[in-house]
Amino acid sequence: MKIVLGVDWEGAYQPALEWLKALRFREAEVVLLSVIEPPRPPLIGVIAPFPPEVFAQTMADAEQAARARLEQVHQELAQYEIPATVEIRHGQASTQVLACADEVSADLIAIGGSRKRVLEAFFVGSVMRAALAHATQSLLIAHTPPPAEKPLHAVFATDHSEYNLRCADQLLGFAPTGIRRIAIATAFEMDEETLKLLTRGTPAIAESGSDWIVEHLHERNRQVCEKFRPLNLSCESVVVEGPTIPSLREVMRETDSSLLIMGAKGHSLLERLSLGSVSYHFATAERTNLLILRV
């Protein structure tokens, strides 16, 4: 499994680094990437242009600082026996991160959240926007490090679509051996009219209300649990009737989970409005540690 970790000067990468160490993806190889961006053009009439020698020294200092950060991260991963290589590129951060991921055939791009709102931080915000919109790789977006003093719990959100089940296969292939317990969570909304339509001709089921749907979804969730058996973790099914986003937020709280895992295509506007809308919300509007799976 090939992973690209964006190592930024703000230090926002640190939670993502901690998650890579905690998740312990099987056979992971990490490319540690820092991007040196040129200084922003000065405001005309306010700040004079940089002399060439000042510009050159600024870039040299930035590259030296980047190499020091990369070496430190490289040593941390070595302590966990995670092989890594380092790379420094020049240019626009979002463009270089995605280009690097494509060139090394990465499976996952790991991005740290920001101490600010995610989309307010320059490096983190620009890379995250580009990755959400254009990357074909899965994404790990980490705002806070994993809990240090307790087992790692996660929620895998599923709508049982064909694409989502392929994402479950991908998670199995990634083999995050650090997860100790995972909740397979499904949220659904059912109004009276839809219930009548679904149970037309089956009065016995209609009388049970949405209970039959809940049990059916539990059975589907248990099939996903069976799929995850090789990961050697505890697995449970959670079915919630209600809007997806607040329901998942509540499942995260009730299961004491610190990572939300879900599948999303998320490239086009139509996909964001359907399959990708929930993951896009959690990525841009909340500080939830998120593993977005793409196949």
pLDDT above 80 (res 153): yes
Average pLDDT on 266-286 reads 61
Average pLDDT on 146-154 reads 93
Question: How much of the chain exceeds pLDDT 70, in percent?
Answer: 80
Model pLDDT, residue 123: 45
At position 244, the amino acid (one-letter code) is T
Confidence category of residue 56, pLDDT binned at 50, 70, 90? confident
Confidence category of residue 141, pLDDT binned at 50, 70, 90? very high
Query: Can you point out the beta strands (E) in the chain?
Result: 2-6, 29-36, 84-90, 108-112, 138-142, 152-157, 179-188, 234-241, 259-263, 290-293
**Interstrand relation of 290-293 and 138-142 (parallel, antiparallel or unpaired):** antiparallel
Quick check: 190 and 210 in contact, CB under 8 A? yes
Model pLDDT, residue 201: 57
Confidence category of residue 50, pLDDT binned at 50, 70, 90? low
At position 2, the amino acid (one-letter code) is K
Q: Which residue segments constitute the domains of the chain, with CATH numbers given?
A: 2-142 (3.40.50.620), 152-293 (3.40.50.620)
Confidence category of residue 134, pLDDT binned at 50, 70, 90? confident
What is the distance between the alpha carbons of residues 18 and 166, in angstroms, rounded to a whole number?
A: 27
Q: Which two tokens stand for residue 39?
A: 């200084």
Model pLDDT, residue 88: 95
pLDDT above 80 (res 38): no
What is the distance between the alpha carbons of residues 218 and 167, in angstroms, rounded to a whole number?
A: 19
The residue behind tokens 């983190």 is 124
- Residue bearing the bigger pLDDT, 223 or 210: 223
- Least confident range from 44-48, 71-75, 175-179: namely 44-48
Model pLDDT, residue 236: 97
- Least confident range from 24-33, 210-219, 255-264: namely 210-219
pLDDT tens for each residue of 72-119: 999 999 999 999 999 999 999 999 999 999 999 999 999 987 655 444
Average pLDDT value over all residues in the chain:
84
